[in-house]
Structure 1
């Protein structure tokens, strides 16, 4: 079973993206080294623009529209990547730069109220990534069709809730359980963080399946998707730490 034709929680790993013609395969095959190098490059871009946004915040610049603009641009890039596969390389780079602006401003704001919380979130995200990779490599958690279906369904529902909340915020309507520090809000945040972590397993599984099969262009799709999941996980961890800090 799959939702909206997807076989993973991330659109970059659907059959639509991975169906390649014989002509395109002549460009070279996708390699793990290529995915790793591109991912590291894009994470560096995220860090650079996050640093710019962070500095502007502490220089007294109002970064609300910079962070919001970064989020919107990143969303537009994701939509365009879904329909314009040939633009994946420049769009992934733009996505990384835009998401960095969002993360930088968002993290700086939280750091001002709760010092060092963003750095703790980075460490937790990295540790979680390594644990998920270990669980996948050792097959302690096997990515079955049923596992995919559950993760896809839940993550899709989560993203729908977030998108609706983002749209409603422009009209002054706030979905309280997304932002409050109530126990229900914390529980919801924990569930979201767990499924963000589980999404990494699906990503590893699909990259593993297409190494040496898909053409080299799809290394950029893999990079984009890993960025989406890693950044999502970081944001959820940071939001959870913030709620716990307020609560305790």
Structure 2
């Protein structure tokens, strides 16, 4: 049912269909520690790629390889969720290569821009969490439907734009026009709102789902956070170019 879905595929009911199979249940603290561990992995890899680029090395293949690996790992996790305990850290490493690459390019053209994007991402995460915890925003069926539809549409636009690139057609989303900036702004907004759905689902499944599902929950949060950071960095870069 729609009430048990989020815009993040990591939190679909598919991953929670055996929530009575273990006496050791999922906890928020468990997800927190696993998330911190994976974020540290991403940070370490990012710093390494940043250092390579600063020394004049090409990092093009790190970016492509990281992005492709993250997609493949996500697909594998989707069908083999019991492998998540070692696949999610690998996903974090792959995303580290990808984020390290795009952050290095951004920093080279606009010094300290990645730091600002990280700051905005952290502030946004905390703000959305507070809005959810204080119930200033209630995740109703209508809000959930709007967020899911919008996120799916945004991903579809990116996929179509990526395919068009193989035919030499440059989509507007990669440009710096006001339409492209508006699109990035909307994408960043819904990336942050997708966290609401993740928080809501985790709260409903805590102390119910098996302990092993903490890795799936961690993966879901990483997907949302990486998307939010990437959209924020892309938006800030386009604004920097325009102004």
Question: Structure 1 residues 154 and 95, CA, compared in 2 at 3 Å: closer, same or farther?
Answer: same
Structure 1 position 160 matched with structure 2 position 137: no
Quote the residue 2:195 is aligned against. 200
Whether the 8 Å CA contact 1:7–1:149 is kept in 2: the answer is no
Q: How many residues align?
A: 243
**1:19 pairs with one of 17, 20, 45:** 17
Hey, what does 2:6 align to over in structure 1? 8
Q: 1:6 to 1:246 in 2, by over 3 A?
A: farther
Structure 1: 4+ residue segments shifted above 3 A: none
- Cα–Cα, structure 1 residues 158 and 6, in superposed 2: closer, same or farther, change >3 Å? farther
* Residues 21, 230 of structure 1: alpha-carbon distance in 2 compared, 3 angstrom cutoff: closer
| Residue correspondence of structure 1 range 176-191 to structure 2 within 5 A | 177-191=172-186
Contact 2:26 2:214 in 1 (8 A): yes
Q: Is the 8 A contact 1:42 1:96 kept in 2?
A: yes
Q: Which residue is equivalent to 1:109?
A: 105
Q: Which runs of 5 or more residues in structure 2 are unaligned?
A: none
Mapped partners of 1:231, 1:187: distance in 2:
20
Moved more, 75-84 or 194-203: 75-84
Among 74, 85, 88, the residue aligned to 2:84: 88
CA drift of 1:34 comes to 0.3
User: Is residue 2:118 matched to residue 1:122?
Assistant: yes
Residue pair 2:176, 2:238 contacting (<8 A) in 1 also: yes
Report the equivalent of 2:128. 132
The question of whether the paired residues in 1 share the 8 Å contact of 2:26 and 2:207 is answered with yes
Alpha-carbon offset, residue 214 of structure 1 = 0.2
Q: Give me the whole-angstrom Cα distance separating, in 2, the residues matched to 1:171 and 1:60.
A: 31
Contact 2:10 2:217 in 1 (8 A): yes
The answer on whether the counterparts of 2:184 and 2:231 sit within 8 Å (CA) in structure 1 is: yes
Tell me the residue number matched to 1:60. Answer: 56
Matched, 1:142 2:138: yes
Question: SS at the partner of 2:211?
Answer: coil
User: What TM-score do you get using the length of structure 2 for normalisation?
Assistant: 0.96
TM-score (norm 1): 0.94
Name structure 1 gaps, 5 residues minimum.
none
Whole-Å separation in 1 of the counterparts to 2:168 and 2:92: 29
CA contact (8 A) 1:125 1:234 kept: yes
